[in-house]
């Protein structure tokens, strides 16, 4: 209604009054809510309107007229355009405070849950912590898309990435500058067990780009595996990760947490809060490559992992054998179907779903099983809060613990501890 009173490219000066869920500053222009990235509460800013929607608008920062005391130097030359980070302008303490409030807002407003979020667990490192990066390639340029766009930001070094990945990026950059290519994307993973690298390449003409394989083999130190268009063309197809004292094979398409040291904190905290016993039978939903199942196994009688992705289950069984674990059974299939085949009484469920959260049918099955405790690990507070809202009729939400797995970004991991409600006499 009121949006007709402002126009694209108009310039305004306003005060930031809040931060929205993704970390952008919020202000009002003629009664209209405007989101402005890379601004902080209390700042007076000049900005240009870049997008107008039905109920809000977006703006691009032109100048900070009055900075916040919490503003800090980003230290990244690409920060203003790159979409990889979004909170580098904010002090680390405020970053943690923002993430706690983000989780609290989701729990209260979406889940309708009256639980106070616990103090956030900080990351062991705030820079050079990521063990994986996916780059876009356009001819002789490589980098990330700009924030909210498909415009490639050409980068030579990313402060979020482990040095081994940045070194490999530099070598790949030299290759694409020297050779015509049809490469569109490259993913690099670093394994902390053997300090080795996996490079996954997507090309629209793999015959032309096969020559990059020999180039990388001779140039990249500790290169373990190269994958070209889904085919392992060098090495055995995986690298190795160590977490919580166990070894895990990580293939090109398998999921593994990107912040290895803080991941150990995450799993240690989840296990501590679960208060596991040697008599417990644990169900691990969305078990992936078996990380949680294997780590939990030494504390309980048995673990049953369910995962729908066949390759992930193959990796999980391999990881079980690597670590000489005998009390874990992995099942490949849809959780809503496979759960009904389980004969054991389930005491505790660990669930670590993708960003979209837990399927409603799976929620119904979890409630049917009614374990004494559910440990819900999530990388998306919004879908987590929604799912907790579905479970709160049967479960008390005992704790919600944020974990800063992704410093300098608006993303946050969470551990929720749910206990089955005792029936009143």
User: Is the separation of the CB atoms in 49 and 6 below 8 Å?
Assistant: yes
Two tokens at 300? 């309980």
Distance of alpha carbon 230 from alpha carbon 228, whole angstroms: 5
- Contact criterion met (CB below 8 Å) for 11 and 47: yes
Following DSSP, what letter does each residue of 301-329 receive, concatenated? SEEEEEES-HHHHHHHHHHHHHTT--SEE
Choose the catalytic residue: 85, 100, 250, 379: 379
User: 151: Cβ–Cβ under 8 A, 6 or more apart, which residues?
Assistant: 81, 145
Nearest to 390 by CA among 110, 32, 164: 110
Of the candidates 106, 103, 100, 414, the one whose C-alpha atom is nearest the C-alpha of residue 266 is 414
Task: Using alpha carbons, select from 44, 41, 50 the residue that is nearest to residue 6.
Answer: 50
Distance CA 367, CA 346 (A): 12
Tokens of 251: 């293939």
Strand ranges across the sheet with 413-420: 328-332, 302-307, 281-285, 348-351, 373-378, 413-420, 395-403
238 Cβ contact partners less than 8 Å away, ≥ 6 residues apart: 198, 224, 225, 249, 250, 251, 252, 254, 315
H or E element that contains 292: helix 291-297
Q: Which residues pair with 241 in a beta bridge?
A: 248
| Cα–Cα distance for residue pair 90/76, rounded to 1 Å | 13
Residues 6 or more apart whose CB falls under 8 angstroms from that of 251 comprise 198, 237, 238, 289, 311, 315
Q: Is 379 a catalytic residue?
A: yes
Cα separation, 399 vs 253, in Å, equals 32
What is the C-alpha to C-alpha distance for residues 321 and 311, in angstroms, rounded to an integer?
16
Question: Which residue numbers are catalytic?
Answer: 379
């Amino acid at each position: 209604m009121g949006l007709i009173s402002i126009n694209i490219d108009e310039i305004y000066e306003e005060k930031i009054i809040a931060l929205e869920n993704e970390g952008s500053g919020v202000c009002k222009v003629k009664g209209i809510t405007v989101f402005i990235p890379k601004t902080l509460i209390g700042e007076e800013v000049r900005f240009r309107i870049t997008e107008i929607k039905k109920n809000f608008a977006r703006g691009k920062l032109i100048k900070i007229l009055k900075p916040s005391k919490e503003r800090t130097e980003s230290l990244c030359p690409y920060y203003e355009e790159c979409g990889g980070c979004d909170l580098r302008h904010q002090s680390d303490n405020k970053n943690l405070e923002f993430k706690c409030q983000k989780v609290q807002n989701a729990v209260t407003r979406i889940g309708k849950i009256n639980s106070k979020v616990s103090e956030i667990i900080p990351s062991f490192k705030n820079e050079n912590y990521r063990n994986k990066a996916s780059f876009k390639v356009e001819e002789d340029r490589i980098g990330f898309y700009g924030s909210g766009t498909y415009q490639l930001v050409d980068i030579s070094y990313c402060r979020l990435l482990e040095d081994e990945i940045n070194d490999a990026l530099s070598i790949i950059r030299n290759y694409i500058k020297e050779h015509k290519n049809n490469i569109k994307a490259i993913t690099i993973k670093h394994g902390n067990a053997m300090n080795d690298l996996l490079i996954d390449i997507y090309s629209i003409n793999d015959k032309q780009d096969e020559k990059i394989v020999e180039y990388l083999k001779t140039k990249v130190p500790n290169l373990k595996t190269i994958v070209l268009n889904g085919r392992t063309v060098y090495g055995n197809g995986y690298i190795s990760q160590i977490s919580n004292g166990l070894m895990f094979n990580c293939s090109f398409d398998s999921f593994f947490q990107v912040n290895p040291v803080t991941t150990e904190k995450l799993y240690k905290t989840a296990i501590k809060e679960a208060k596991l016993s040697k008599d417990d039978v644990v169900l691990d939903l969305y078990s992936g490559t078996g990380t949680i199942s294997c780590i939990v196994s030494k504390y309980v009688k048995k673990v049953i992992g369910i995962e729908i992705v066949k390759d992930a289950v193959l990796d999980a069984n391999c990881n079980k054998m690597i670590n000489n674990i005998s009390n874990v059974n992995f099942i490949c299939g849809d959780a809503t179907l496979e759960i009904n085949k389980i004969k054991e009484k389930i005491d505790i469920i660990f669930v670590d779903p993708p960003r979209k959260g837990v399927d409603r049918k799976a929620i119904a099955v979890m409630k049917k099983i009614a374990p004494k405790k559910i440990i819900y690990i999530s990388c998306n507070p919004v879908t987590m809060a929604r799912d907790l809202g579905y479970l709160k009729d049967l479960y008390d939400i005992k704790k919600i613990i944020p974990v800063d797995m992704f410093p300098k970004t608006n993303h946050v991991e969470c551990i929720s501890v749910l206990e089955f409600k005792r029936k009143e006499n």
